[in-house]
Amino acid sequence: MLSPNDYEIILASGSPRRKDFMNQIGFPFTIKTFDVEESFPKNLKGKEIADYIVAKKSAPFKEIIHPKQIVITADTIVWLENEYLGKPKDETDAKNMLQKLSGKSHEVITAVGFLFDGQFDIINEVTEVHFNPLSEIEIDQYVSQHNPLDKAGAYGIQDWIGEIVISKINGSYTNVVGLPLAQVYQKIKSIIQN
């Protein structure tokens, strides 16, 4: 197992799922977050949106980062037929999003930012997700039982939807949960080794 030596890793995310994934990597890390509004210019599309928000989340750390620290920021979006689906505002918004996703394919895009030694790098991962059709009853049941308000596109692949509704995925499963783990591990490894 690779050791991060004298590097200090900071995860700039309050997501419990991302925290769990970072624990799986096995590197010691701390969590520090700033409140950042996840808005973006309307002309951005797909990957550009995730990249823009990740850069925004990294910005407050530029003034306080020390040498030998790696700050990791992440943003996951759902991109459906040229439309951005972020975290729903409320349950009605969540139901509308799930109705849009029902019976269709969409992309889950995660941008992960790495701030270190005066550099800022972004990696992207895109996973194609196929939904079976959802009935109104199923949507209502999911929204009432699975707290979709903190999830891009109003769903978590690790929930009931992933077992029952998602017919297939092309790409990284952990990316759909919120952090492309293999890619993040390789990037941390390359930073430490270089």
Q: How far is CA 28 from the centre of its chain?
A: 20
Contact criterion met (CB below 8 Å) for 138 and 147: no
1 pLDDT tier (thresholds 50, 70, 90): very low
**Hey, how many other C-beta atoms are within 10 angstroms of the C-beta on 184?**
23
Provide the CATH topology of domain 8-193.
Answer: Maf protein (3.90.950)
Q: How many CA atoms lie within 13 A of 161 on its CB side?
A: 32
Say what angle helices 136-145 and 91-101 make with each other, to 10 degrees.
Answer: 130
- The string of DSSP codes covering 62-111 is GGT--TTEEEEEEEEEEEETTEEE-S-SSHHHHHHHHHHHTTSEEEEEEE
The domain locations on the chain are: 8-193
pLDDT of 35 over the 90 cut: yes
Task: Give yes or no for a contact between 29 and 9, defined as CB atoms under 8 angstroms apart.
Answer: yes
pLDDT, tens digit, 9 for 90 and up, residues 179-192: 999 999 999 999 99
Report pTM. 0.93
Per-residue confidence band for 47, with pLDDT thresholds at 50, 70 and 90: very high
User: What mean pLDDT is predicted for residues 55-59?
Assistant: 97
Catalytic residue flag (residue 75): yes
Please tell me which residue in 6, 20, 75, 121 is annotated as part of the active site.
75
pLDDT at 194: 82
Q: What's the rounded Cα separation, in Å, for the pair 108 and 85? A: 10
Q: What is the mean pLDDT of residues 90-112?
A: 98
Q: How far is CA 166 from the centre of its chain?
A: 18
The more confidently predicted of residues 5 and 107 is 107
